[in-house]
């Protein structure tokens, strides 16, 4: 494998790890990328998304801007970091009991001269002469070292456990490490190889009602967020934008008039949950609720969370389930948002387990999830069902690392579940299976198609199943007729098209 191929493979693995929340893995891969190619803009930008501190992010973003001064995303992120630094500096005490901002106000009042004289005199009087002499000597030595050492030396990594080579410039001395959310790069990406289309298009969709929410477009930022909208089945399946923001995982309210989706946030380098009307109006975020002063209240104690994603409406519209990072657990857990009183409840806090793709049952009593026991001796993803009232969990599958289950959804009566599965030895060889929700019986193939299937969405009347497939070499949406057992093709383009939810009048 050539050096360039090695870099692309490491970058691909790093991005995939970052998207899956594996921050340590992402750090390891992306670190190798910039070690091999210190001018890799994409590598530095993704590394900025998985580091711990603003100082580390500043280093990574400085490298990005050195490579490409026109990278607007990096510039905005850097501006946000500098703004936070200014706020912190303003709140620091210049002298005990007086902050820099307070001192600025005093300056404006004209009293500063007297205060400064008193403070300087007091500080001078109580200072230890020996300490001052030592500090002066140290300052002289540091000044001499700064004169002798060029500005392009490599800076030590913040945590002191490693060092990293920075790009030589006369304006900064970069050097990052890693560990947190995801930041998209802004560049012209190197296109990945896609299968050569060898399968002809299927017949177009006819006789299907409603709207299917989803994403459609090119992932030019390579961050997994795409244009958000819906496919209008009443007008040939044309795609209608809901918002100009990029997002993913769009869930419809029961009346079809409102959606919740994961929006990419450039400041936090990750996702935030946004509620918005289907016509793009009245947008609001789902955030931890604080009263004035940030204090908890007895009626609605604050539940803190970060990087919320994969939201799903209940059938009555009163609950929204989602996954997010909590206060104490390094892995994403399940949360419930009450749309009536806007309270948030953390449903799980399982040590060593990470949850994804929560789906509230049609009767509103359970949440189906994919649970990944990451720290177990035998790790693996399985389907679990959680009782909302008690928090008790029951595994629906128990094959651990033999098979990979994902994106499980309920049938409309709540008696069965439909899900994606693939052998761990070949994750791209997916099928859509169906099984009883109580665990009895044997899983049966529901849709078995050429290519890789993903994103199953059942129509409200239970007559059709939408899913995405790359059978043609590109990700398009297909509609499976349950009774006739036939497949029609909804989209056909080089754009990425994924279905997320379905509403019918």
Q: What is the CATH number of the domain that holds 288?
A: 2.120.10.30
Residue 175 lies inside a defined structural domain of this protein? yes
Residue 125 lies inside a defined structural domain of this protein? no
pLDDT at position 190 is 34
Assign residue 71 the CATH number of its domain: 1.25.40.10
Domain boundary among 447, 466, 488: 447
Residue of 51, 89, 80 lying closest to 175 (CA atoms): 51
Same domain for 310 and 168? no
Contacts of 129 by beta carbon, 8 Å cutoff, 6+ apart: none
Same domain for 57 and 178? yes
* Total tally of structural domains belonging to the chain: 2
What is each CA distance from 382 to 385, 387, 401, 426, in whole angstroms? Answer: 10, 16, 9, 17
* CA 495 to chain CA mean position, Å: 21
Contact 393, 355 (CB under 8 A): no
* CA separation for the pair 32, 7 (Å, rounded): 8
Contacts of 94 by beta carbon, 8 Å cutoff, 6+ apart: 100, 103
What is the tens place of the pLDDT at every residue in 139-167? 444 333 333 323 322 333 223 333 333 33
The stretches in the chain having pLDDT less than 70 are 1, 20-21, 89-200, 289-301
Same domain for 185 and 304? no
Torsion, CA 386, CA 392, CA 397, CA 399, rounded to 10: 130
Segments forming the whole domain that contains residue 72:
1-91+155-193
Residue 384 lies inside a defined structural domain of this protein? yes
Q: In what order do the strands lie in the sheet with 226-232?
A: 284-286, 270-277, 258-265, 238-252, 226-232, 211-217, 496-503
Same domain for 172 and 304? no
Same domain for 330 and 391? yes
Residue of 474, 488, 448 lying closest to 196 (CA atoms): 474
Residue 324 lies inside a defined structural domain of this protein? yes
Q: What is the enclosing helix (H) or strand (E) of 238?
A: strand 238-252
Same domain for 173 and 293? no
Q: What is the enclosing helix (H) or strand (E) of 52?
A: none
Residue of 464, 493, 467, 494 lying closest to 478 (CA atoms): 467
Same domain for 271 and 332? yes
Strand, helix or coil for residue 17: helix
Name the DSSP letter for residue 163. Answer: B
Same domain for 177 and 248? no
Residue 267 lies inside a defined structural domain of this protein? yes
Same domain for 278 and 387? yes
Same domain for 288 and 368? yes
Residue 260 lies inside a defined structural domain of this protein? yes
Residue of 458, 484, 488 lying closest to 471 (CA atoms): 488
| First-to-final CA distance of the chain | 54
pLDDT at position 22 is 75
Residue 371 lies inside a defined structural domain of this protein? yes
pLDDT at position 92 is 56
Tokens of 198: 């060898």
Same domain for 334 and 276? yes
Contact 301, 291 (CB under 8 A): no
Antiparallel, parallel or unpaired: β 238-252 and 258-265: antiparallel
Domain boundary among 133, 163, 193: 193
CA atoms within 13 A on the CB side of 241: 8
Residue 226 lies inside a defined structural domain of this protein? no
Same domain for 185 and 251? no
pLDDT at position 50 is 86
Domain boundary among 398, 423, 447: 447
* CA separation for the pair 304, 227 (Å, rounded): 28
pLDDT at position 485 is 93
């Amino acid at each position: 494998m050539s050096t360039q191929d090695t870099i692309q493979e490491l970058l691909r693995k790093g991005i995939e790890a970052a998207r899956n929340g594996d921050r340590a893995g992402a750090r390891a891969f992306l670190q190798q990328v910039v070690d091999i190619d210190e001018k890799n803009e994409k590598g530095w930008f993704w590394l900025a998304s998985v580091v711990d501190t603003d100082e580390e992010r500043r280093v990574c973003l400085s490298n990005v801007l050195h490579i490409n001064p026109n990278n607007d995303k990096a510039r905005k992120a850097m501006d946000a970091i500098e703004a936070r630094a200014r706020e912190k500096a303003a709140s620091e005490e210049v002298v005990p009991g007086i902050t820099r901002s307070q001192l600025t106000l005093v300056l404006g009042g004209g009293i500063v001269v007297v205060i400064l004289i008193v403070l300087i005199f007091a500080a001078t009087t109580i200072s230890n002469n020996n300490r001052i002499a030592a500090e002066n000597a140290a300052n002289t030595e540091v000044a001499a070292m700064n004169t002798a050492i060029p500005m392009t030396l490599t800076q030590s990594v913040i945590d002191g456990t490693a060092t990293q080579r920075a790009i030589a410039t006369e304006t900064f001395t970069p050097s990052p490490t890693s560990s947190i959310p995801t930041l998209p790069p802004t560049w012209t990406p190197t296109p990945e190889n896609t299968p050569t289309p060898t399968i002809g298009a299927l017949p177009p969709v006819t006789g299907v009602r409603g709207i299917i929410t989803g994403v459609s477009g090119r992932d030019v930022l390579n961050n997994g967020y795409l244009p958000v909208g819906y496919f209008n089945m009443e007008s040939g399946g044309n795609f209608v934008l809901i918002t100009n923001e990029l997002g993913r995982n769009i869930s419809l309210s029961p009346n079809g008039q409102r959606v919740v989706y994961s929006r990419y946030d450039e400041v936090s380098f990750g996702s935030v949950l946004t509620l918005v009307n289907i016509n793009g109006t009245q947008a609001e975020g789902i955030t931890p609720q604080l009263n004035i002063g940030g204090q908890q209240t007895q009626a609605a104690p604050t539940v803190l969370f970060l990087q919320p994603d994969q939201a799903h409406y209940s059938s009555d519209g009163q609950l929204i389930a989602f996954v997010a990072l909590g206060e104490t657990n390094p892995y994403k857990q399940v949360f419930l948002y009450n749309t009536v009183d806007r309270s948030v409840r953390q449903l799980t806090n399982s040590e060593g387990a990470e949850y994804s793709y929560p789906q509230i049952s049609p009767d509103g009593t359970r949440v189906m999830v994919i649970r990944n026991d990451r720290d177990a001796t035998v790790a693996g993803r399985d389907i679990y069902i959680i009782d909302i009232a008690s928090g008790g969990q029951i595994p629906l599958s128990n094959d651990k690392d033999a098979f990979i289950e994902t994106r499980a959804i309920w049938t409309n009566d709540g008696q069965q579940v439909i899900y994606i599965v693939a052998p761990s030895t070949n994750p791209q060889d997916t099928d859509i299976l169906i099984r009883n929700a109580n665990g009895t019986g044997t899983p049966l193939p529901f849709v078995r198609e050429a290519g890789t299937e993903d994103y199953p969405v059942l129509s409200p009347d239970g007559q059709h199943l939408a899913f995405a497939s790359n059978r043609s070499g590109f990700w398009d949406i297909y509609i499976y007729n349950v009774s006739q057992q036939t497949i029609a093709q909804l989209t056909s383009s080089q754009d990425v098209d994924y279905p997320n939810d379905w509403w019918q009048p």
